[in-house]
Amino acid sequence: MKLTIHRGANEIGGNCIELKDDCSRIVFDVGLPLNAIDENLDIRCYKPDISGLFADETGVAAVFISHAHPDHYGLLSLINKNIPIFMSKASAIILKKIVPLLGEENYADLNIIELSNGEEIKIGNFLIKAYEVDHSATAAMAFEISAENKKILYSGDIRFHGRRAWHSKIFADNITPPDYLLLEGSTLGRENQEQLTEYDIEKRLTVLFAEKKLSLIVFSTQNIDRLVSVYKACVRKNKILVLDPYSCAILENLQEISSHLPQFNWNNIRVYFACNSITRKLAESGDLYHYKTSKITFDEIAANPEKYVVKANFAITEKLFERLDVDNMQFIFSLWSGYLDKPGFWHDLKDKLVCVHTSGHACVKDLQDFVKAVKPKHIIPIHTTCKDKYADLFAADVIVLDDNIETEL
């Protein structure tokens, strides 16, 4: 069996891994590099050199997507529409229903097949088993691949401190020790960062929301754990969470996965119809109409600002700065702080921000505990800028690979 890391051996993001034997070839993740995502570059420039995957070419038997972050799925729209693409139901919902709201990408005509936790798929001589793990994307998956009497484990993106950390723990404690573990290492090199759990985030937000002022909070609603933390902190302090229609659409579509997710018509949630392209798309499809019963106007917010926690989007942020006293607001940044290094609106406001965030990726200590539990014979670094640190950190033989080098396993 041969392994090629097409991208991800030397960087965080852009994961693309190929496994092949004499009969078939399968691909795990078809991600875009982070800079291509941030700068909105032409995705066609980032196609890895895999024959039989893109356009009308044939030859790749299946693609497996670990989770719905573009550094893992961003090239999907370019691949042959007949190739089966396996992913969790939550990932499929995000790709089919939510991502099209953000731009031109349309995944409706792809051959997406939903996988459940623990499900096994046979592709040629490969047996692939999917395991749900904790990550900032909903229902992220790790994959165990068995072939030629060998086992390979691909961690995808994984952590042990979110609301679904138990998924990662059950996975770690029950997996058969693999011959090879392809292990993400996003946090290597960031060892000094404080490791909070998602429950710590909820507590910190609860303290902040006790302030008698409007809170404007920047976070990603695709990070469902964070949305739940914000919502629960609002409930504890009897604040109203003001969402945009985009956030409501995510929650409404993911209701299929969990009936416990907060929805637009729950107590403590109102919807501000932010004037932007996403709201317009939802209006055209008729979906915006659902949220009418929970609609709130800007004047209602301005009349009692201290009652509200507002999820930031450009439209409402601009109005808040124009119409309300900035000194009577607090600004909470609940994303990776590295985004603040780039020029932009929040960068300029850096001194006024309270940062409350935890990573979507396991800290080094949790990765070490994971390796102790899983007991791989070999570790292959991926999704990291620090592959040379693995040998010192983990109790297993480390095989350091480069992009685009085929390796016999």
| Contact flag: residue 157 with Zn ion (CB under 5 A) | yes
Q: In the complex with Zn ion, which residue's Cβ is closer, 69 or 311?
A: 69
Q: In the complex with Zn ion, which residue's Cβ is closer, 43 or 140?
A: 140
**Rounded least distance, CB 252 to Zn ion, Å:** 23
**Rounded least distance, CB 69 to Zn ion, Å:** 4
Q: In the complex with Zn ion, which residue's Cβ is closer, 1 or 188?
A: 188
**Rounded least distance, CB 90 to Zn ion, Å:** 13
**Rounded least distance, CB 157 to Zn ion, Å:** 4
CA 88 – CA 173 distance, rounded (Å): 21
317, 318, 320, 321 alpha-carbon torsion, rounded to 10° = 120
Residue 147 CB-half CA count within 13 A: 25
Part of the chain binding Zn ion (CB under 5 A), chosen from 153-161, 240-248, 313-321, 348-356: 153-161
Identify residues 60-119 at the interface with Zn ion (CB under 5 A). Answer: 69
Paired tokens of 265: 């018509």
**Rounded least distance, CB 366 to Zn ion, Å:** 16
Q: In the complex with Zn ion, which residue's Cβ is closer, 157 or 366?
A: 157
Q: In the complex with Zn ion, which residue's Cβ is closer, 139 or 241?
A: 139
- CB of 215 within 8 A of CB of 330? yes
Paired tokens of 299: 């004047």
Identify residues 131-150 at the interface with Zn ion (CB under 5 A). Answer: none
Q: In the complex with Zn ion, which residue's Cβ is closer, 6 or 69?
A: 69
Query: Which alpha helices (H) appear in 286-374, and where do they start and end?
Result: 298-303, 314-323, 345-348, 364-374
DSSP-derived 3-state class of residue 382: strand
CA distances from 251 to 113, 259, 335, 337 (A): 22, 10, 19, 25
- By CB neighbour count within 10 A (0-12 exposed, 13-18 middle, 19+ buried), where does 377 fall? middle
- CB of 353 within 8 A of CB of 340? yes
Q: In the complex with Zn ion, which residue's Cβ is closer, 157 or 252?
A: 157
Part of the chain binding Zn ion (CB under 5 A), chosen from 55-63, 106-114, 156-164, 273-281: 156-164
Part of the chain binding Zn ion (CB under 5 A), chosen from 8-16, 89-97, 154-162, 334-342: 154-162
State the number of binding residues for Zn ion (CB under 5 A). 2
| Contact flag: residue 361 with Zn ion (CB under 5 A) | no
- CB of 107 within 8 A of CB of 100? yes
Which residue type, as a one-letter code, is found at position 118? G
**Rounded least distance, CB 68 to Zn ion, Å:** 8
**Rounded least distance, CB 117 to Zn ion, Å:** 18
Residues within the interface to Zn ion (CB under 5 A): 69, 157
